[in-house]
Structure 1
Amino acid sequence: MILLFMIGLACCGASTVGAEPASTPRADRGSLDLTGWDSRQDGIVALNGEWAFYWSALWTPDDFRSGKTPQPTGYFTTPGYWNRHAAGANYPADGYATLRLKVRMDPQDGAMALKVNNIFSAYRIWVNGELVASAGTVGKDKGSTVARQIVQTAPFRAAPGEQELEIVVQLANYSYTKSGFQNAIQMGSDARIEALFRRNMEGTFIAFGACTIMALYHLALYALRRREHSALYLGLFSLFVAVRIPFVNDRYIYNWFPDMNWELFCKVPYAVFFFCSIMIAMFVRSLYPRYFARPIVVAMQASGAAATLFCLLTPQRWYDKLLIPYELLTCGFIGYTLYVLVRAMRDRQAGTLTFMIGFAGLSGTIVHDFLYMSEKTHLGSLAPYGLLIFIAMQSLILAGRFARAFAEVERMSSRLLAMDKTKDEFLAQTSHELRTPLHGMIGLSESLIDGVAGELPEQAVQNLQLVVSSGRRLAALVGDVLDYAQLKHKDLTLIRSDIDLRSAVGVALQLNEPLLGGRRVRLANDVPGRLNVSADENRLQQILHNLIGNAIKFTDSGSITVSASEAGGDVEVRVTDTGSGIPEAVRARIFDAYEQADGVRREGTGLGLAVTKKLVELHGGTIRIETPPDGRTCIAFTLPRPARHTAPTLQAAAGVPRREARTGSRTAAEIEDMAAMREPDAEEGDGNGDGSRLSGARILIVDDEAVNLQVLRNHLTMDGYDVIEAADPVEALMRLESGFKPDLAILDVMLPRMSGFELCARIRERYSAGELPVIFLTAKPLDVDVIEGFDAGANDYLTKPVVKRELLARIRLHLRLAHWNRALERRVKERTERLEEALASLQQARSRLIQAEKLASLGELIAGIAHEMNSPIGIGVTASSHLAERTKALLARYGEGGLRKSELEAYLAESSETADILLGNLRRAERLIATFKQVAVDQTFEERRTFGVRAYMEEILLSISPKLKQSRHRVVLHIEPSLETVGFPGAFYHIMTNLLLNSLLHAYDDGQEGTIVIRAEADAKALTVTYADDGKGIEPELIPRIFDPFVTTKRGRGGTGLGLSVVYNLVVQTWGGTIVCDSVAGHGTAFQLVLPLPRATLEGTG
């Protein structure tokens, strides 16, 4: 099928040689009949056919008009080359000639144009005597001829009514192997020719851009994956094809670079063709190395390199002769490649079918280009388009390959993750299995040394101490292995804090001092004070312990000094010793795993310094070995300084749980000091000492290992504790559910039927951390296990094997904390009860004071009533007394008989006036009684009603008028007489009365006269009242508490401190409003009250 496709494409190209469709007119004997052709309607026509040919003559249109020109040498068929066949004979490639064509046509409207390209190798063109196009210089010899290849359009305009065109072409060639027209001259309307020119150029740009992008893509792919040589070969192939595109077909390279050297213009297409054959051979070989014979590739490389070199070093006439032999060689290579692909496809090689389709497209277009270069077709170069097909297929192949590679990577990643998980589980399990027997061995040995079975001989004690020492060394090895594995996989998390470096070094030196074993070695701490570092304290102790321990191991006498200094933004720490030193050959790899300077004579695994290096780098520092001039050995490392100044600590965070460094984050002595802290002073009557409470404390141990139980039993019973054992969590839960409550629980993590984490969570459902402390004692040292333990509710987390002193110290600490917590809870409960009683008493007192305030207000009301009733009643009494005296006098005169008419009339007049006075004052008294009755009702019942604000305010002033007159202060009301509101008049009475009395009592000194201004205004939502006095104001520190109960400035002058509190409660709680106080000392006080209208009123208003 592929061969048939190639043959068909070749035949299709061959069928175009000198032929046009039957409907296209052709020139005959120098004349072309285009009658009936319309340049605007019928499109573009190719001026193919027989042109009049004048060999070795350069005639101009004027020569033809003069009639002096001879007969043509013959007729030249275009497109074609005269050195191949012209006018019935073959002419040499070097030479010059004139071609002439007469075109008969109907008169044309509008501008017309010719499209000229690929005329070798210099020309000039006239249309009806007008020079319309030229390229290079046309001459009669090589020296006077300048070759150029320019694709151009030649616009011209036919004269009105003109029915014949004369086209004259002068042509000269002395530099190319072909002379003539490779492509026909095309003619049409100016717009259509210009559109054709742009379309062809856009196609060239598209092909150039596509090939360039593909080249860059594959070259970038090779840069990323250097093993993908096929990407390099295909990228170079695509790149050189992209370079060749502007040099073929319409050859736009001369349009872009008109001064380009002619030899370079000729060499590039040939050299690229030769070179690309090498690339494609190497590309196919890289894809199918099993099937593609290496000699074939070597042959293509040698022939291509030789042809390329020959092309670059010789003139065009020479290397052009290589073209046909090389084309035949290429065809042979194509056939062999197809054979290889058939074999690969038969073996079911992935992607071979896709590759074969792309290669067939490329091969077909290459064969077509061979025919095009041999003048057997005039379709132009199709190789760039074949390359696009080829690259598209290659992209599919690469996509499939990457998809398979990605799937393989996913599969391998899943497998690696599973293996890594298996490895982690193995390390954890191995660690657990090693730590548990080590804990038993060390613990039992320590308890025997301490005399759990009675006093032992000194030799036995020494042997047991060696057992303990060996066990701890093995435990350290297990820890190093786990640390190295975590650091290698970056599973270690740092908890940084600001650490006092001198204190940290002091602790490390103290802990390592027992390792000296009596050797005369001095440990010196030369770290300056107040030098802090940002580090994880546990890991810093591990770094220092490893380096100091390593120095002790190799130092038999002398000194080991730890010093430090600032180094830019870091702190450099140096551990210097006077030991045997490190050989030069070992220094480069001393920080590698399992590497030792003297592994034969010294103990160790070689992991300590490897772990140290990774821990330093995890902190963001560096570590190196130095050899000072005095022959000492110095290991220096850097740690970052704190980002900001904070209080330095020796422990990162008290209570932060994490697996300890090899020596533990706290020494047993530190924990013992904490456990020995005195309890806060006990309540009176609690005279029992703390020691008696700890002695006999009940401790629940849950562990399924008999050895672990025995170790803990020995340690704890010797310290006076009551030990209760449970072999599994179910038994422990049954004891707890039966009512048994221990003082502390020690749990293992790896337990049957239920993990220690689950058991701890169940315990926390019943008891809090303060009621029942829980300590995990387990062989699981990983950070994730520690975090899970504390998430489950643990108080502490220890890993096996544990130091006996540290275990006992931590138990004492947690027991004391639990006891203190219970004591504090008891005291808090007692004091809460006392506070509740005091609060109830205060609330009762407050209620009584509020009632007293109300009674005081009623007293003021009664006083006001008495004062106001005094006037009308006094006037009435006076008038009545006067009338009684006049009546007695009138009766006396009447009894004497001397009563005159005028006296009777005067008496009647005075009686009438007195009656009017009595009636007016009695009615006034009646109104006062009704008003006071309403006020009393308002104070008794908290009911909403509509009331006049100004009238009610005047009644309030009337009720306290005796105090106002006594104080001689002036009250000014800025309230409209018609202002009404809906609310609680009784609450309003108490609010305004308390504000007035507060000002009269607190705002002014004795004898001072002042002014109180009250404003009121209302809108659709609320009544706003502003109350202000010009008194001495309130101190700033009292303003935030001014509405609190019992806050007063005149406790000794009758102030209870409840007045403003009552106002606040009435405004906020009864009325649902707000009140704000604004006061400046010495400038008075103002209150603003916002009293909202009820919702029903608002809705009615709306």
Structure 2
Amino acid sequence: MKELVRHKKKLYIIIPFMVFIIVGVMGINNRFSKKRLEAKAVDGIVDLSEWDLTKDGITALDGTWEFYWNKLLTPEDFKNVNNPVKIEFIELPGTWDGLKVKDYILQSDGHATLRVKVKKKTEKEILSLYMPSINCSYKLWINNELISNVGMVGKDKDKVKIERKENIVNFKNESEHLEIVLQISNYDSIFKGGTNGSILLGNYKQIQSYVYKKIALNLFVFGCLFIMAFYHFGLYLLRRKDISTLYFGLLCLCTALREILSSQIIMDELFLDVNWILQAKCQCVITELALLMFLLFIDSIYKKYRNTKVYNALKYSMMMIIIFHSFAPIKIVASTLIICTFMTIFLCIYGFYIVLKALIKREEGAVIIIIGMLIVFITVTNDFLYNNHIIFTGYYTPVGLVLFTFAQSFMLSKKFSNAFNTVEALSEKLISLDKLKDEFLANTTHELRTPLNGIVGISETLLDDSKNLNQYQINNLSLIVSSGRRLSKLINDILDFSKLKNKDITLNKKSVDINQVVNVVLEVSNNLIENKKIELISTISEEIPYVFVDENRFEQILYNLIGNAIKNTYEGKIIVSACCKNNMIEISVSDTGIGIPEEKFEQIFKAFEQLEMTGNNKGIGLGLSITKRFIELHGGEIKVESQLNKGSKFTFTLPVSKEKNSIQIIPQNNGALNKINTVINNKHMNSSESINSNDGEFKILVVDDDLINRQVIINNFSSSKYFIISASDGEEALNKLLEHKGIDLVILDVMMPKMSGYEVCREIRKKYSLIELPVLLLTASEKTEVIEVGFKVGANDYLFKPVDKVELTARVNTLLELKKSVEQAVTSELCFLQAQIKPHFLFNALNTIMSFCRTNPERARELLLDLSNYLRKSFDFNNKEKFVSLENEMSFVKSYLAIEKARFSKRLNIIYDIEPNLNCLMPPLILQPLVENAVRHGIASKRQGGTVNISAKGESEFVLIKVEDDGVGIDKERLNSILNKTIEGSVGMKNIIKRLDLIYGYGIDIQTEQDKGTTISLKIPLRKEKFND
């Protein structure tokens, strides 16, 4: 602001200084011109006897010439003494309009002869006479010789042909006298009869120099204005909102064209036979256009000071005048020029008034415009006085126009400069604020992670205990979880976007198997399908070369593209394909979704851009933008093909790896490098080889396709406490499980060829429970979905790669100790359960057997065998088998029920519905307590007795076992106590629920109805002899 005030103070000093300089230059020129023009024509005679053309220069033959109205006289006529002519005089330059001859006031139309005699020094060089454009047809004689003929001179309208032409005539005259005779005819012209400019006399070089300077000045003015016009047109094209540049450009263009049109010499050079009527109309219309543009320009920069009524009146009046003059005949145009003159005066007064108001309000640029207008006013006033022979300075309007133009250009440039400086300052501020915003966003997202994870975790915990919730509450909790996960993904996207923007992304490139990554991503993405009928398919060949990429970022690219396809596809297929082209792998993700409009192809890759084609906008438009940036960081590119309602296809390229399974290693020292090379180059190394003996307490299977990673893990467990077995792929790992019995833990990499870690884990869970064989997953991805899928297929825990030795050891030991503790707890519970045999059951059983000894000895013998079998299985404390077959468990149950059947006789009916050949292993002492509960609490409490139905049916991956009775049922309070494990006095039921929950992660299902019976169901996984290949 201080700088602006300082500049204004300078301008207040510059204004008077410039006015003083301009007036001073004009005054000096006026003084010089007066001295030069002292040789004036008096009564038709110019005395140049004391005038040296060579030294004193050009002289104007201004003054009083002889005037002969309605006479076309030749030099010969003046020699005829028999025809005396009365002499009148006319002031040149000037016109005969209004001249009084013989009591008659002359009009514009007519013809006349003008004559002057010149006394001069004897000149031997060639002389020249400059004839200005006098807007009439004329003939010129010098000393009886016809020198020039412009147009056709005649005494009536039909014989006259008017032309406009500036002319230079050269002649040689060594005498001391010159006689100049000029015939002029003026009919049907818009101009007045006579001459508008001075007729100049000088030598040839002087006149030529004068004309050239005049042309140069005209061209200079035209060039300046023309360049400024297109300069401002360019400014307008760059910034369409500021229309003042357009108006000023048009003002400059109109003024430039007028300058050319007013120079007759240039027009004659450009057009050999120019139509003077067309030239005059163009000059008139363009001048009016320039005035209109001036009005619009002033209004556009100071619109708030506009007087609307005056402005509209001037604007529309000027527009009507321009249209009218464009089509009206030249005579009417000439007769209405007075209106245009008044309009010009009003327009200039209005413009000056507006700028003056702006100046008072200290508007930017008002001072400069005032300077420009003052310059034009001074120069126009000068030319007016010069034309009326009041002063003799010369024409300065062109110079004034150029100075005005430069002043306005300076003002606009200053305006743009100030705007640029403001924009620059704002840009710097915006950059600073943007950086601050990014930092705030990054910090905020980091801080949001912890509470967000808490929200999701607590909500999931509540969902896990959904038995105590109604459906409304379950739906709301599910909505919280899904929204939380979506917000978590958004936070990760924002962090990635911030890193990309700040170029804070480091790519750990290595050779990566495309199939391996795609299979894992498709496995995880299956969870996103929900209830849609979508099939995820990979058609990538096993022979496809590896890509040289950052594995984590490659996964992220695929997750984003496949996730986007799932979001916009309701049914159909999503296909991932790949091929090799020009040392690049071209990977495509195509879907059968809603498609994308072609005009939106570029928009979808911009940050925070979304298509609002569906109501399914679950993000903020960062996914595809981040994907594109990651692909470009790898040296690839992405493109999209799509048709509305038919689907989309995203294709991206990544560089081919030069060798498979290569990895970039930056060694810390040569020793480390040598050790790694030793491991890699050991081609004879057996995958199952262990660095310790087979006597370890724990047996661990390590599965990883990367030899270095596998060896690092093996080295971490070099203690004799562990026996390590290793495998390089999923198939080999399953075979190792068959070969080596009693493996305690599997450390499994997710990303592997042939079979992914998920598939291997799924196969393991078909034979082993979570407690029997814990699985620790290793993954390079930190995505929640990846971890969630791992838990769904049966993993116990996970670790992010690269693994830390301390953390890996801690996790492994925790899982091993947990397994050991659970086994001990289950064994203790089993022993405790075996110790719960009630004495009265033995008394009842013995009494029943004794009663049969007399009546039915054979039946008594069978019951003794059943009791013996029952007691043997109940008191087998040394049995360390974790699981027994279904057949074995049913044998125990049948022995118990045989004794109870003998006791209750017809009150107890037993039905067995066991599907044959069920290969099922289950924890011991699971069914008997359930059957005993059905007999004691269901049937025995009912006077008429009842039926116990025991069934076992094989399903896809489970055996469904049911124990049904039609007894008295269980009341709701007791049922809730059983399910919540708070029931008192029911050790057997609590033990079953606890053991099943520990081993399988779920308990039993109880359906009951008062006085109608109870059904208890449990699922036991099917066991297979071998793993699927």
Q: Same fold, TM exceeding 0.5?
A: yes
Aligned residue among 109, 119, 122 for 2:124: 109
Q: Is the 8 A contact 1:44 1:192 kept in 2?
A: yes
Look up the equivalent residue of 1:621 and give its one-letter code.
Answer: I
Where 1:119 maps in the other structure, the secondary structure is coil
**How has the CA–CA distance of structure 1 residues 374 and 487 changed in structure 2, closer, same or farther, with 3 Å as cutoff?**
farther
Partner of 1:807: 800
Distance 2:78 2:622 in 1: 103
Task: Give, in angstroms, the shift of residue 350 of structure 1.
Answer: 2.3
Q: Deviations for 1:913-969, whole angstroms, at most 9, x for unmatched residues?
A: xxxxxxxxxxxxxxxxxxxxxxxxxxxxxxxxxxxxxxxxxxxxxxxxxxxxxxxxx
In structure 2, what residue type is equivalent to 1:677? R
What is the aligned partner in structure 1 of residue 321 from structure 2? 307
CA contact (8 A) 1:249 1:381 kept: no
Separation of aligned partners in 2, 1:224 and 1:100: 60
> C-alpha distance in 2, partners of 1:279/1:339?
17
Tell me which amino acid in the other structure corresponds to 1:96: H
Shift of residue 490, structure 1, vs aligned partner: 8.6
Cα distance in 2 between the residues matched to 1:497 and 1:40: 93
CA distances 1:224-246 after superposition (whole Å, capped 9, x unpaired): 11122111111111111111112
**What are the within-5 Å matches in structure 2 for residues 475-554 of structure 1?**
475-484=488-497, 501-502=514-515, 504-512=517-525, 523-528=536-541, 529-530=543-544, 538-551=552-565
User: Do the aligned partners of 1:564 and 1:574 also contact (CA within 8 Å) in 2?
Assistant: yes
Give the counterpart letter for 1:811 in structure 2.
Answer: D
> 1:537·1:650 contact (CA, 8 Å) conserved in 2?
no
- 1:389-788 matches, within 5 Å, as 389-435=403-449, 475-484=488-497, 501-502=514-515, 504-512=517-525, 523-528=536-541, 529-530=543-544, 538-551=552-565, 560-564=574-578, 573-576=587-590, 593=609, 608=623, 611-612=626-627, 619-626=636-643, 634-640=647-653, 647=658, 673-674=706-707, 676-678=709-711, 691-692=717-718
Conserved 8 A contact 1:61-1:129: yes
State which of 64, 84, 107 in structure 2 corresponds to 1:92: 107
Q: Structure 1 residues 144 and 378, CA, compared in 2 at 3 Å: closer, same or farther?
A: farther
Give the CA deviation at 1:214: 1.4
Structure 2 residues without counterparts, runs of 5 or longer = 1-14, 469-473, 668-700, 723-743, 748-779, 785-794, 810-1029
The correspondence of residues 946-957 of structure 1 with structure 2, limited to 5 A, is none
Provide closer, same or farther for how the CA distance between residues 516 and 55 of structure 1 changes in structure 2, counting only shifts above 3 A. Answer: closer
Instruction: Tell me what 2:882 maps to.
Output: none
Equivalent position amino acid for 1:167 in 2: I
Counterpart residue number, 1:323: 337
Following the alignment from structure 1 to structure 2, what is the Cα–Cα distance between the partners of residues 495 and 648? 16
2:176 to 163, 179, 189: 163
- Kindly provide the amino acid, as one letter, of the partner of residue 118 in structure 1: S
Matches within 5 A, 1:921-1070: none
Question: In the aligned structure 2, how far is the partner of 1:127 from the partner of 1:585?
Answer: 82
The residue aligned with 1:885 is: none
Q: Contact conserved, 1:113 with 1:155, CA < 8 A, in 2?
A: yes
Query: Aligned-pair distance for 1:252?
Result: 3.2
Which residue does the alignment assign to 1:203? 217
* 2:65 corresponding residue in structure 1: 51
Q: Return the letter of the residue paired with 2:803.
A: R
Query: Deviation string for 1:258-281 (max 9, x for gaps)?
Result: 311121121122212222221111
Helix, strand or coil for the counterpart of 2:336? helix
TM-score using structure 2 length: 0.56
SS of aligned partner of 1:143: helix
Say whether residues 1:143 and 2:158 are aligned partners. yes
Which protein has the larger Cα radius of gyration, Structure 1 or Structure 2?
1
Distance 2:546 2:712 in 1: 33
What SS is found at the alignment partner of 2:325?
helix
Cα shift readout 1:508-529 (whole Å, capped 9, x = no counterpart): 3244456678999754211344
Q: CA deviation at 1:671?
A: 6.5
Output one character per residue of 1:272-303: Cα deviation in whole Å (capped at 9) or x when no partner: 22222211111111121122212222122222
SS at 1:28's partner residue? coil
Q: For 1:231 and 1:557, how far apart are their aligned partners in 2?
A: 57
The match for 1:134 is 149
Q: Match of 1:290, as an amino acid? A: K
Which SS does the other structure have where 1:252 is aligned?
helix
Measured in 2, the distance between the counterparts of 1:556 and 1:112 equals 99
**How far did 1:604 drift?**
6.9
**CA displacement at 1:672 relative to structure 2:** 7.7
Residues 693, 329 of structure 1: CA spacing in aligned structure 2 closer, same or farther, 3 A cutoff?
same
Counterpart amino acid of residue 652 in structure 2? L
RMSD value over aligned CA atoms?
A: 5.3
**Aligned equivalents of 1:466 and 1:359: distance in 2?**
72
Q: 1:194 to 1:551 in 2, by over 3 A?
A: closer
The Cα offsets for residues 573-597 of structure 1, whole Å up to 9 and x where unpaired, read as 5435578x67999999988757788
CA displacement, residues 58-93 of structure 1 (integer Å, 9 cap, x when unaligned)? 222233345455314512221111123265753232
CA deviation profile, 1:18-50 (whole Å, cap 9, x unmatched): x95596122222222221222212211111122
Cα distance in structure 2, aligned partners of 1:671 and 1:308? 89
Choose from 357, 369, 376 the match for 1:343: 357
Cα distance change on mapping 1:144 and 1:472 into 2, 3 Å: same
Kindly tell me: are residues 144 and 517 of structure 1, through their superposed partners in 2, closer, same or farther at Cα, counting changes over 3 Å?
A: closer
Judge conservation of contact 1:671–1:806 (CA < 8 Å) in 2: no
d(CA) in 2 for partners of 1:147, 1:109: 35
* Map of 2:955 onto structure 1: none
Provide the rounded CA distance (Å) in 1 between the counterparts of 2:630 and 2:480: 30
Give SS of 2:274's match: coil
- The unaligned stretches of length 5 or more in structure 1 are 449-455, 657-667, 681-687, 697-717, 722-776, 782-801, 817-1102
**Whole-angstrom distance in 2 between the partners of 1:169 and 1:27:** 15
Distance 2:551 2:453 in 1: 25
**Residue in 1 that maps onto 2:367:** 353
2:519/2:538 contact within 8 Å kept: yes
2:804 aligns to what SS in structure 1? helix
Question: Residue 201 of structure 2 aligns with which residue?
Answer: 187
CA 1:532–1:298 in structure 2 vs 1: closer, same or farther (change >3 Å)? farther
Which of 46, 55, 64 is the matching residue for 2:78? 64
Q: Is the 8 A contact 1:121 1:148 kept in 2?
A: yes
Give the C-alpha shift of residue 156 in structure 1: 0.8
Query: What letter is aligned with 1:94?
Result: D
Matched, 1:281 2:307: no
Residue 154 (str. 1) matches residue 169 (str. 2): yes
Deviation at 1:420, TM superposition (A): 0.9
Cα distance change of structure 1 residues 566 and 348 upon mapping to structure 2, 3 Å threshold: same
Whole-angstrom CA distance in 2 between matches of 1:66 and 1:557: 117
Q: What secondary structure does 1:33 align onto? A: strand
Question: What CA distance in whole angstroms lies between the structure 2 residues aligned with 1:695 and 1:458?
Answer: 43
Check the 8 A contact 1:222/1:232 in 2, yes or no: yes
Instruction: Give the SS at the match of 2:294.
Output: helix
**Aligned letter for 2:98?**
R
* Distance (whole Å) between structure 2 residues aligned to residue 100 and residue 257 of structure 1: 32
Letter in 2 for 1:483: D
Partners of 1:689 and 1:620 lie apart in 2 by 41
Distance, in Å, in 2 between the alignment partners of 1:318 and 1:395 is 37
Q: Secondary structure at the match of 1:146?
A: coil
- The residue number in structure 2 matching 1:225 is 239
What residue number does 1:880 align with? none
Counterparts of 1:63 and 1:103, CA distance in 2: 19
Amino acid of the residue matched to residue 640 of structure 2? I
Q: What CA distance in whole angstroms lies between the structure 1 residues aligned with 2:147 and 2:371?
A: 47
User: CA-to-partner distance for each residue in 1:756-807, whole Å, 9 max, x for gaps?
Assistant: xxxxxxxxxxxxxxxxxxxxx99999xxxxxxxxxxxxxxxxxxxx996343
- State the Cα distance separating 1:407 from its structure 2 match: 2.5
Q: Which moved more, 1:125-134 or 1:524-533?
A: 524-533
Deviation at 1:199, TM superposition (A): 1.2
For the residue of structure 1 that corresponds to 2:717, the secondary structure is helix
